[in-house]
A = this chain, B = another copy of it.
Amino acid sequence: MTRPEPRRSFIRAEPEARRAALIAATLELVAEAGPAAATVRAIADRAGLTQGMIRHHFSGKEALIDAAYAAHMAAQAEAIEAEVAGAGPSPRARLAAMIRASVTPPVAEPAGLALWAGFLNMTRGSRAIRATHEASYLSYRDRLQALLTEAREEAGRPLRAPEARALAIACNAVLDGLWLEAGALPEAFGEGEIAGLALTSVSALTGLDLSLESQ
């Protein structure tokens, strides 16, 4: 009855472009509906390709997941770094910019939290993901510790190393917690409420006054 459909036409693309498309599709699906929804068929479909492409451009599904997670973490770090770089030379302003960027979109939003939680479940299964997770976490905390140290020096109250570590862990925790709450219950907070709380809280923890830096 139904004569066979003609094979769909296609155009060739550079492998890197295909890889990027597959990674983007993976991130969309994990963010929208969790890791279980990111099947090879759904990913290929979202990318406008057929499922064979995943095994052609990656060694397997797990390699694609690893690449997607690394790409997401790199994008987040880059978004924060861009805000810091655009905040001018003052250490206090740069610290405030990092804080604000960490708890507002595009870093803090439901999709980001879903992505993070989704990949966390895969941590057990993949060494690559665990390594990426740990590296990006510590990298963020080190960056925060450096800005905290600079800002405290600017204020004439320098930090010693162990003190700086404890302060960075605590400030990182507040920011992580606010990031989490902003992503989990976005409608439970007012516009800018989370960012204001982040600046106030870090101010209280560090003894600096960062509230002036919020526009």
A125 and B34 form a contact (CB under 8 A) = yes
A114 within 8 A of B: yes
In the complex where A36-B35, A121-B121, A197-B170 touch, is A180 in contact with B180 (Cβ < 8 A)? yes
- Selected contact of A176 from candidates B36, B114, B125, B177, CB within 8 Å: B177
Would B184 and A177 count as touching, CB distance under 8 A? no
For residue A117, CB closer than 8 A to chain B, the reply is: yes
Interface residues of A in 109-157 (CB under 8 A from B): 113-114, 116-118, 120-122, 124-125, 133-134, 137-138
Of the listed stretches A15-23, A41-49, A75-83, A198-206, chain B binds: A198-206
- Could you tell me how many residues of chain A have their Cβ less than 8 Å away from some Cβ of chain B? 41
List, in ascending order, chain B residues with CB within 8 A of A169's CB: 178, 181, 189, 193, 197
* Complex interface: chain B residues within 8 A of A181 (CB): 169, 172-173, 176
A108 CB to nearest B CB, Å: 11
Interface contact A178-B185, CB-CB below 8 Å: no
Among A35, A113, A134, A176, the one with the most B-chain Cβ atoms within 10 Å of its Cβ is A176
A79 to chain B, nearest CB (A): 20
**Complex contacts, A188 vs chain B, CB 8 Å:** 138
Chain B contacts for A124, CB-based, 8 A: 32-34, 114
Closest B residue by C-beta to A201: B170
A58-97: which have CB < 8 Å to B?
none
